Structure 1
């Protein structure tokens, strides 16, 4: 059988033969062809494409924020807002002399924990390998998670970091931006936290507006209405 999951674009032939075309695919002659950008899935006798709109496509070295969804004795699996699951090996956390018997994975990271990580390796044919072994990476202990579209991340950062610096300075919040569209905001005051969250959400909703910087500056300078 053909590879079960692969990255496809419109016009790609996913497979041929006696399969039933389902979502985002068409049958042309004997070939099943993708009609959208996404991940193709062949399951039993059917073929579909899960569209990637609004989802994050991993790139090596990207900083991402992930949420632990499960673990085996050798690794954790993280939701990174993608069609792919982030794969964090236990060795990355416990060190080279990691032993599956002595070291309990949930003592370090539990289901639901948020983690700042980097994409260490990815080639579209399998789930991305992630690492938390660099400085400033690892479990996120406090803050709230705000989800935005991955395509709006450059706007949130701004030219040379201008937008995010303005939001942080205007609220005294610390903001960690994952390239996957997940943003963690922490702040010592409720008002600062609320304004920073509002600013991040404004960027997500109004990224197309030319005077967005001015709108956000006005909101930050004003008294919090909520």
Structure 2
């Protein structure tokens, strides 16, 4: 059973009181923890947060995100990261310190429509966020289907200690890469497994507020233990 306590809240609602840690979208007033947005409150371990029902992705430094290349100049690529801000990937990040715009053609590495796994390298709202693919496990994503969900639903898709995404991957044999920006890439050798994984992700987004969602997903995938 799910040991996280959830309920629908609006701004100003008192979620709980006591020795809890105030986390996302809540405010500590005296000993009371109050919601600051419309969403689903979660009380777990020693923390309290609210998962917004709507919202856009606001970049944060070191966030892991999935992006889709939109265009390029001679010095950088512009990348859709599911935000009101486009991500900027400098050519030097890809080609290295020896990059020369006169001799290096950016489309030899990344073309419009390519998907990349990247991190937010720098962002201060005064300019578009810089992204990087220079770290391990980052770079061009060679195959898979792109799925978009609300960034606020990403924690629910991952689940506590990764329980939800492990349930989906184990039942469908799919590989699922989740960006904190709400972009997800799903790949599977079996077409039926791919479709089941996509259906499960859609179900999580639509029913993120529903209790015992992991059990519902298991039933839908036919992986629930007898």
Q: What are the Cα deviations for residues 188-212 of structure 1, in whole angstroms up to 9, with x where unaligned?
A: 0001100110111111000000111
Q: 1:68-217, aligned counterparts within 5 Å?
A: 68-217=69-218
Aligned Cα root-mean-square deviation (Å): 0.9
TM-score, with length taken from structure 2: 0.74
Cα offset, 1:106, TM superposition:
0.5
Q: Please, which runs of 5 or more residues in structure 2 have no aligned partner?
A: 1-53
Supply the distance in 2 between the matched residues of 1:60 and 1:149 (Cα, whole angstroms). Answer: 19
Residue in 1 that maps onto 2:39: none
Cα offset, 1:54, TM superposition:
2.9
Cα offset, 1:159, TM superposition:
0.7
Cα offset, 1:101, TM superposition:
1.2
Supply the distance in 2 between the matched residues of 1:215 and 1:160 (Cα, whole angstroms). Answer: 18
Q: What are the Cα deviations for residues 114-146 of structure 1, in whole angstroms up to 9, with x where unaligned?
A: 111000111111100000011111111111011
Between structure 1 and structure 2, the one with the greater Rg is 1
Q: What are the Cα deviations for residues 61-117 of structure 1, in whole angstroms up to 9, with x where unaligned?
A: 111111111100110000111110100000000011111111100010001111110
Residue in 2 that maps onto 1:66: 67
Where 2:107 maps in the other structure, the secondary structure is helix
Structure 1 runs of 4+ aligned residues shifted over 2 Å read none
Supply the distance in 1 between the matched residues of 2:150 and 2:136 (Cα, whole angstroms). Answer: 26
Where 1:139 maps in the other structure, the secondary structure is strand
Supply the distance in 1 between the matched residues of 2:161 and 2:60 (Cα, whole angstroms). Answer: 20
Cα offset, 1:55, TM superposition:
1.6
Q: What are the Cα deviations for residues 160-189 of structure 1, in whole angstroms up to 9, with x where unaligned?
A: 111111111111111000101010000000
Residue in 1 that maps onto 2:16: none
Q: Please, which runs of 5 or more residues in structure 1 have no aligned partner?
A: 1-52
TM-score, with length taken from structure 1: 0.74
Supply the distance in 1 between the matched residues of 2:160 and 2:97 (Cα, whole angstroms). Answer: 40
Supply the distance in 1 between the matched residues of 2:73 and 2:188 (Cα, whole angstroms). Answer: 34
Supply the distance in 2 between the matched residues of 1:138 and 1:202 (Cα, whole angstroms). Answer: 29
